[in-house]
Amino acid sequence: MLLNRIKTHMGIDKLIRERTAQLQHLQNGIVFVLADMVENRDRGTGGHIERTTTYMKILIDGMIERGVYAQELDELDIEQLVSSARLHDVGKICIPDSILNKPGRLTEEEFDIMKTHSAEGVRIIDQIVSRTDDVEFLRSAKLIAGNHHERWDGMGYPNKLAGANIPLPGRIMAIVDVYDALVMERPYKKPFTHEEAVRIIMENAGTQFDPQVAEVFYLVKDAFEAVSLD
């Protein structure tokens, strides 16, 4: 009888693992489809989503290795956090093509519209949550989408959060997103060199960027450069 119970429990454990793997596969599929929709609309940022996801992993690994924000990171599902970085610009789905793909600098009015993509991203993710009840899966995606344009000095958007009031995933993504924007060519600008991008980010540590996260970025900058050149 005991042996039968053990076999039953083993069967249940196997079933749970299989169902968990299936759910993870479904979740990853949703993320990839949404991210691909954004990438296909924003013609000036080819490869941005996959590069920033890779940068995110590099920076988080560097933070873990050095014990930076160890408690906060320990409370997060790192695999889900990295995967959800693909949705940081999902709100751009709501931005008109005339603005999203404008071959030049935006006017002040156009930039105000572009800035709404952060809040729109939160709205879209909330809609998904309301229909799936899978809050944990999309929790990190919502934190990143809604906060990656906030600034350490409180001058960012959409909510002008400052310092540690900005959720950590948003503070990490802020550096990752800006680095890729700097080193890649866009319709409105030539690419900066890796060295120039590093200098700009470090000069803005403590104003635009979390200084502790920026310090880790500086220590892993060579890995960033390797990805940017790939």
Helices (H) and strands (E) in the chain, counts: 12, 0
Question: Do 208 and 189 form a contact (C-beta atoms < 8 A)?
Answer: no
Q: Give which of 170, 227, 211 is closest to 68, Cα–Cα.
A: 211
pLDDT tier for residue 177 given thresholds of 50, 70 and 90: very high
d(CA 170, CA 172): 5
Length of the chain: 230
State what percent of residues in the chain have pLDDT above 70. Answer: 77
Q: How far is CA 24 from the centre of its chain?
A: 18
Surface-to-core class of residue 229, CB atoms within 10 Å of its CB (0-12 exposed, 13-18 middle, 19+ buried): exposed
Cα(128)–Cα(133) distance, rounded to whole angstroms?
8
Domain containing residue 128? 2-229
pLDDT at 19: 64
Window from 25-39, 154-168, 190-204 with minimum mean pLDDT? 25-39
Q: What percent of the chain has a predicted confidence (pLDDT) above 90?
A: 57
CATH number at residue 136: 1.10.3210.10
**Average pLDDT of the segment spanning 76-100:** 89
Q: Among 124, 120, 144, 134, which residue's Cα sits nearest to residue 27?
A: 134
Whether residue 34 is predicted with pLDDT greater than 90 in this model: the reply is no
- Residue bearing tokens 């002040």: 108
Enumerate the β-bridge partners of residue 189. 186
Phi, psi (deg, nearest 5) at residue 4: -65, -40
Q: Let me know if 104 is exposed, middle or buried by CB neighbors in 10 A (0-12, 13-18, 19+).
A: exposed
Find out whether 43 and 101 touch, Cβ atoms under 8 Å. yes
For the chain, the domain total comes to 1
Confidence of residue 100 (pLDDT cuts 50, 70, 90): confident
